[in-house]
């Protein structure tokens, strides 16, 4: 029998019973709301609390938060109930109170997921309104919603090609059961249930199960054909005369699965592995592996209800009901690709939606796998020759290392993603190994050409080099599958262990116990040697590199501190200030992975230059360890890796400082080089301040310090407001700064108690008649990595580029320029006004086709700096006059917003010129 239709109101009627244990740290408190205790509160607020089954303590704390929000927010009357819901969510999340689910609070205040997320973010008018814990929980819910929405949209589209419409609507009942089973399977099989690719593969497994058990009249071709042609399962004659003939079905209909995978551009082997491990185990848990019938819809519904209430997040069944809480945001014109038809005016242009997340993921995976088809799981003949040319053949060590790391990787992957996902981890590892061998071969070819050597014994017997190269290859694989990103900015605010369900960078470093500084040394060479590198992968690895320089390499116990210590002990200064000309030089000058891994570990030991170009890398490196210290030159050479690291660090630091100054100090351009001098001095001479901290924390502190001694009225709250609009920022940077061992507080406390105390003498010199000499300003470079298929400027033209076709398999919607005019040479072009527009675009360097400004809704400066010490408004204890407070706030708002918008417009114009 087909499953019965679930009532759309089922979810609403089943409320989560409050838990006395999870509701409050105070075990004596009753889980039921005591109305007498809350007579001082708004009656409607109390009613909302009662409907969500919150405890007395949650109600009290949420009301205190509401009063804070009310004091700092204008015109709250119209959205009062919605703000109450946000305050209750924030409070319950902070307290780990199991009062209500995310969906329940959405329904109580009549908001969609995106609307609610935006509302909670707007509450963060003060640094302590929204904790990093709440922000993290909200980000997780938003990511899970985005994944669920993408999956449901693909599910709905796929079902239209699978199931036939019948008069009694049975196909809708079947689809509902299928979607509910998938949600339950995803919840039970995956710990990291926001993994888009594995979730989608699990969805295909669920569809395969329902198709092969579905009556033929409900199916459309090619799924009816596949169902008929599926080979019957044979039974032995010995067993034919025994008990009742139970129709056992094959574990997986390979032909049917191949059809599903082909229609969805998915790899069949990967889906088959998901079926045989995670999905089969799930079916066994429901006793459905051998049952020829549909699972009972009521049973599925009840089991998913229990899972949803336990997880306290989003009820995925509502997607099928088209519930308003999970409706997709409306697609704006700026988010679609504009493709004019021939001979049609602009207003009749066709709008093509952008590529879907699942399609984009499948395309990226196909490109990665396609580029590695020729690469085997073993070293190629060329690579084997390199190994044999070594003084010590590294083949055995490489093989043993890979076997060990495969076990480590697959186990940790299964711990993070799901208990039965070790096989999937091995699949990722196998792809990583292929890429590792491929890139290693290209690296060695490049080094042979550069140095005219064939013996790379020293490099190829370096375990750290191999582990770093493999880690980089695996990071690329996981990023391609969408499993690695940068949700928390690459660090945990309190220095604790990362969550078990988080494989975001730097998870791979922790998995292999690999130093971030060692991983950093291979990134640039890896990108250059990657034969089919894409812009997305370049951007991902570049972000990894930036995160290492900003924070990860500065963790306690980092190899970087050991190198810096050795540098100081040798009597050399840490990366002396360079001249402007030096800063302007490109960063790629022969700094290959071999250079960085074989550079001297002890800076006091000089490397003698090779006698001839044919001198092997291994011989040059051996001189670093055998040359007596007494024979070294008075001028101590620097470690290449440390030198290059600091050059890149200075450029990154200055780029971020320049952007922040353009937002805040455009009327005081003379301050930028002074702030940079203090910032650079800190990184060079007081690098211990970076330990377990972030580069931007020193940047903001240096900016505030210089403005203070130069009597420029720039408040910390204004700096933080502008900082939140910089790219790749995280609120933990200014909300949780290390003050002392185990103690974290806000950026203002760090400035008062740490930064100013350490650099007070140096800061005051900038107010004297003899200030320190200004540090050279590094030029702001473009990305140091060359994009292989970037558009090329047409010679003698202005703003005209030619972009090569990357792959014939790519969808036309990918290649269509966004919000631009599409011109097809050789075809009728239509109206003459289009030629005029093209001429205007080509001749006008500023272009009239402006993008929508992202900074149009710049958050206003904070009304009160509630994290300041003892309520003081500034670090030095000064307070605003009171009478002019409102005028001053409005002036700051207007000034900050206008500066940021002007800068954004300049950046847009410059990017279009290039």
* Percent of the chain predicted with pLDDT > 70: 66
Which residues are CB-contacts of 905 (< 8 A; sequence separation ≥ 6)?
A: 850, 853
β-bridge partners, 744: 738
Judge: domain 640-766, CATH 1.10.472.10. Answer: yes
- The predicted model gives 448-469 an average pLDDT of 93
CB distance 171 to 4 below 8 Å: no
Check residues 397 and 287 and name the one with the higher pLDDT: 397
CB-based burial, 469-503: b 16+ in 10 Å, e otherwise: bbbbbbbbbbbbbbbbebbbbbbbbeeeebbebbb
Q: What is the pLDDT of residue 880?
A: 42
| Residues 504-516: tens digit of each pLDDT | 999 999 999 999 9
CA distance 91 to 97: 8
Q: Alpha-carbon dihedral of residues 87, 89, 91, 94, nearest 10 degrees?
A: -140
Q: What is the pLDDT of residue 637?
A: 52
Residue 630: both structure tokens together:
């007494």
Question: By C-alpha distance, which of 35, 141, 125 is closest to 87?
Answer: 125
Q: What is the pLDDT of residue 730?
A: 87
Q: What is the pLDDT of residue 362?
A: 92
Name the phi and psi angles at 793, rounded to 5.
Answer: -70, 135
- Per-state percent for the chain, helix, strand, coil, to nearest 5: 55, 0, 40
Q: What 3-state class would DSSP assign to 339?
A: strand
Where is 802: in which H helix or E strand?
strand 801-802
Q: What is the pLDDT of residue 376?
A: 79
- Listed by start position, the domains of the chain span 43-130, 140-227+251-321, 357-558, 640-766
- The predicted model gives 259-286 an average pLDDT of 91
CA distance 178 to 300: 10
Check residues 82 and 244 and name the one with the higher pLDDT: 82
> 170-189 and 297-311 helices cross at what angle (nearest 10)?
40
Residue 252: both structure tokens together:
């997986």
pLDDT at 299 over 80: yes
Residue 693: both structure tokens together:
């901290």
pLDDT at 339 over 50: no
Q: Which band of pLDDT confidence, cut at 50, 70 and 90, is reported for residue 783?
A: low
- Which residue is associated with the tokens 């998870």? 507
**Mean per-residue pLDDT over the chain, rounded:** 77
CB distance 230 to 253 below 8 Å: yes
Q: What angle do CA 437, 441, 447 make, to 5 degrees?
A: 145
Q: What is the pLDDT of residue 802?
A: 56
CA distance 504 to 2: 42
CA distance 52 to 48: 6
| Residues 512-567: tens digit of each pLDDT | 999 999 999 999 999 999 878 889 999 999 999 999 999 999 999 998 998 888 88
Using DSSP bridges, classify how beta strands 737-740 and 743-745 pair: parallel, antiparallel or unpaired. antiparallel
pLDDT at 630 over 80: no
Where is 737: in which H helix or E strand?
strand 737-740
- Which residue is associated with the tokens 């008069």? 167
**Given this structure, which CATH class describes domain 43-130?**
mainly alpha
pLDDT at 574 over 60: no
Check residues 233 and 367 and name the one with the higher pLDDT: 367
CA distance 818 to 336: 7
CA distance 121 to 109: 16
Where is 744: in which H helix or E strand?
strand 743-745
Distance of CA 543 to the CA centre of its chain: 9
pLDDT at 860 over 50: no
Q: What is the pLDDT of residue 569?
A: 76
CA distance 449 to 281: 53
Helices (H), 37-131: 43-51, 56-72, 80-95, 102-109, 113-122
CB distance 162 to 216 below 8 Å: no
Q: Which fold has domain 357-558?
A: Cyclin A; domain 1 (1.10.472)
448-462, 490-504, 533-547, 886-900: least confident range:
490-504
CA distance 689 to 682: 8
Q: Can 140-227+251-321 and 640-766 be said to share one CATH topology? A: yes
Q: What angle do CA 224, 225, 230 make, to 5 degrees?
A: 100
Question: By C-alpha distance, which of 452, 463, 454 is closest to 386?
Answer: 454
45-54, 79-88, 104-113, 856-865: least confident range:
856-865
| Residues 214-256: tens digit of each pLDDT | 888 888 888 876 554 444 444 444 444 444 444 444 478 888 9
Name the phi and psi angles at 588, rounded to 5.
Answer: -85, 5
What is the secondary structure of 438-492 as a DSSP string? HHHHHHHHHHHHHH-----HHHHT-HHHHHHHHHHHHHHHHHHTT----TTTTS-
Using DSSP bridges, classify how beta strands 792-793 and 743-745 pair: parallel, antiparallel or unpaired. unpaired
β-bridge partners, 351: 338
Q: What is the pLDDT of residue 794?
A: 52
Question: By C-alpha distance, which of 732, 771, 768 is closest to 750?
Answer: 732
CA distance 86 to 109: 9
Check residues 95 and 904 and name the one with the higher pLDDT: 95
CA distance 845 to 909: 8
Q: Global pTM? A: 0.78
Q: What 3-state class would DSSP assign to 163?
A: strand
Q: What is the pLDDT of residue 813?
A: 44
Question: Could you give the C-alpha distances from 265 to 261, 361, 484, in angstroms and in order?
Answer: 6, 10, 21
CA distance 792 to 899: 33
pLDDT at 748 over 90: yes
20-24, 441-445, 512-516, 535-539: least confident range:
20-24
Check residues 366 and 857 and name the one with the higher pLDDT: 366
- The predicted model gives 602-630 an average pLDDT of 35
Q: Which CATH architecture has domain 140-227+251-321?
A: Orthogonal Bundle (1.10)
29-43, 384-398, 702-716, 809-823: least confident range:
809-823
Question: By C-alpha distance, which of 198, 199, 231, 197 is closest to 212?
Answer: 231
Strands (E), 222-358: 337-339, 350-352
Check residues 791 and 516 and name the one with the higher pLDDT: 516
| Residues 136-195: tens digit of each pLDDT | 899 999 999 999 999 999 999 999 999 998 888 888 989 999 999 999 999 999 888 789
Q: What is the pLDDT of residue 652?
A: 94
Q: What is the pLDDT of residue 314?
A: 95
pLDDT at 793 over 60: no
pLDDT at 7 over 70: no
- The predicted model gives 666-694 an average pLDDT of 95
Q: What is the pLDDT of residue 286?
A: 83
- The predicted model gives 826-832 an average pLDDT of 53
Q: What is the pLDDT of residue 331?
A: 55
CA distance 35 to 41: 10
pLDDT at 603 over 50: no
Q: Which band of pLDDT confidence, cut at 50, 70 and 90, is reported for residue 294?
A: low
Q: What is the pLDDT of residue 450?
A: 87
Q: What is the pLDDT of residue 901?
A: 65
Whether the bond between 222 and the residue before it is cis, its omega within 30 degrees of 0, is yes
Q: What is the pLDDT of residue 374?
A: 78
Q: What is the pLDDT of residue 398?
A: 97
Q: What is the pLDDT of residue 309?
A: 93
- Which residue is associated with the tokens 């009753």? 30
CA distance 182 to 199: 9
DSSP 8-state code for residue 219: B
CA distance 748 to 746: 5
Residue 440: both structure tokens together:
């290693």
């Amino acid at each position: 029998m087909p499953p019965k239709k679930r009532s759309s109101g089922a979810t609403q009627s089943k409320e989560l019973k409050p838990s006395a244990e999870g509701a409050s740290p105070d075990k004596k408190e009753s889980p039921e709301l005591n109305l007498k205790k809350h007579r001082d509160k708004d009656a409607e607020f109390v009613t909302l609390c009662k409907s969500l089954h919150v405890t007395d303590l949650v109600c009290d704390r949420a009301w205190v938060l509401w009063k804070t929000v009310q004091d700092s927010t204008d015109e709250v009357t119209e959205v009062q109930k919605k703000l109450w819901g946000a305050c209750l969510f924030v409070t319950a999340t902070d307290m780990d109170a199991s009062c209500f689910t995310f969906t329940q609070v959405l329904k109580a205040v009549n908001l969609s997921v995106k609307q609610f997320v935006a509302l909670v973010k707007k509450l963060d008018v003060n640094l302590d309104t929204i904790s990093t814990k709440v922000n993290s929980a909200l980000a997780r819910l938003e990511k899970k919603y985005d994944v669920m929405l993408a999956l449901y949209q693909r599910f709905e589209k796929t079902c239209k090609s699978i199931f036939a419409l019948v008069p009694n609507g049975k196909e809708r009942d079947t689809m509902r059961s299928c979607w509910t089973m998938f949600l339950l399977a995803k919840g039970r099989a995956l710990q990291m249930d926001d993994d888009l690719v594995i979730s989608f593969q699990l969805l295909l497994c669920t569809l395969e199960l329902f198709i092969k058990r579905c009556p033929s009249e409900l199916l459309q071709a090619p799924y009816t054909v596949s169902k008929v042609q599926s080979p019957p399962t044979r039974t032995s004659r010995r067993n034919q005369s025994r008990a009742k003939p139970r129709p056992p079905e094959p574990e997986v209909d390979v032909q049917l699965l191949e059809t599903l995978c082909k229609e969805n551009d998915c790899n069949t082997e990967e889906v088959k592995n998901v079926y045989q491990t995670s999905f089969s185990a799930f079916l066994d848990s429901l006793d459905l592996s051998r049952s020829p019938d549909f699972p009972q819809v009521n049973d599925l519904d009840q089991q998913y209800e229990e899972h949803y209430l336990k997880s306290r997040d989003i009820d995925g069944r509502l997607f099928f009901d088209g519930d308003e809480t999970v409706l997709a945001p409306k697609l704006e014109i700026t988010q679609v690709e504009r493709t004019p038809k021939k001979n049609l005016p602009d207003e009749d242009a066709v709008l093509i939606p952008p590529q879907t997340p699942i399609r984009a993921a499948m395309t990226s995976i196909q490109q990665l796998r396609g580029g590695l088809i020729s690469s085997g799981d073993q070293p190629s003949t060329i690579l084997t020759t390199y190994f044999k040319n070594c003084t010590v053949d590294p083949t055995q060590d490489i093989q043993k290392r890979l076997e060990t790391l495969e076990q480590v990787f697959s186990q940790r992957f299964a711990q993070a993603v799901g208990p039965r996902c070790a096989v999937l981890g091995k699949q990722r590892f196998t792809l990583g190994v292929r890429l590792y061998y491929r890139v290693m071969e290209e690296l060695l070819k490049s080094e042979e050409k550069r140095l005219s050597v064939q013996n790379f014994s020293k490099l190829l017997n370096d375990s750290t080099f191999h582990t770093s190269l493999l880690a980089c290859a695996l990071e690329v694989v996981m990023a391609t599958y969408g499993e690695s990103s940068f949700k928390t900015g690459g660090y945990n605010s309190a220095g604790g262990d990362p969550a078990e369900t988080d494989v975001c960078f730097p998870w791979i470093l922790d998995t292999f116990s690999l130093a971030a500084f060692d991983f950093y040394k291979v990134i640039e060479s890896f990108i250059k040697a990657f034969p089919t590198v894409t812009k997305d992968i370049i951007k991902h690895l570049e972000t990894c590199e930036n995160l290492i320089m900003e924070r990860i390499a500065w963790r306690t116990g980092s190899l970087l501190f050991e190198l810096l210590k050795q540098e100081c002990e040798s009597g050399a200064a840490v990366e002396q200030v360079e001249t402007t000309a030096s800063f302007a030089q490109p960063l790629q000058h022969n700094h290959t992975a071999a250079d960085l891994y074989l550079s001297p570990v002890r800076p006091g030991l000089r490397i003698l230059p090779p006698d001839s170009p044919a001198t092997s890398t291994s011989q040059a490196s051996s001189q670093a360890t055998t040359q007596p210290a007494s024979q070294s030159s008075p001028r101590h050479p620097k470690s290449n890796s440390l030198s290059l690291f600091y050059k890149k660090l200075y450029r990154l630091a200055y780029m971020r400082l320049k952007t922040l100054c353009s937002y805040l100090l455009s009327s005081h351009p003379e301050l930028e080089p002074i702030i940079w001098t203090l910032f650079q001095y800190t990184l060079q001479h007081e690098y211990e301040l970076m330990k377990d901290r972030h580069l931007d924390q020193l940047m903001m502190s240096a900016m505030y310090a210089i403005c203070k001694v130069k009597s420029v009225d720039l408040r910390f709250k204004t700096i933080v407001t502008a900082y939140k609009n910089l790219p790749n920022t995280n609120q933990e940077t200014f909300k949780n700064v290390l003050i002392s061992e185990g103690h974290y507080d806000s950026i203002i406390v760090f400035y008062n108690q740490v930064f100013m105390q350490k650099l007070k003498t140096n800061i005051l010199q900038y107010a004297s008649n003899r200030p320190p000499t200004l540090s050279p300003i590094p030029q702001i470079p473009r990305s140091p990595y060359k994009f292989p298929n970037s558009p090329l400027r047409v010679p003698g033209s202005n703003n005209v580029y030619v972009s090569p076709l990357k792959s014939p398999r790519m969808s036309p919607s990918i290649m269509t320029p966004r919000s631009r005019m599409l011109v097809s040479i050789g075809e009728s072009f239509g109206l003459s006004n289009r030629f005029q527009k093209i001429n205007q675009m080509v001749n006008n360097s500023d272009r009239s086709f402006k993008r929508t400004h992202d900074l149009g809704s710049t958050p206003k400066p904070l009304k009160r700096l509630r994290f300041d010490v003892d309520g003081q408004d500034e670090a030095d204890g000064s307070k605003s006059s009171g009478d002019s407070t409102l005028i001053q706030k409005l002036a700051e708002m207007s000034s900050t917003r206008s500066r940021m918008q002007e800068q954004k417009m300049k950046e847009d114009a410059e990017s279009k010129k290039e």
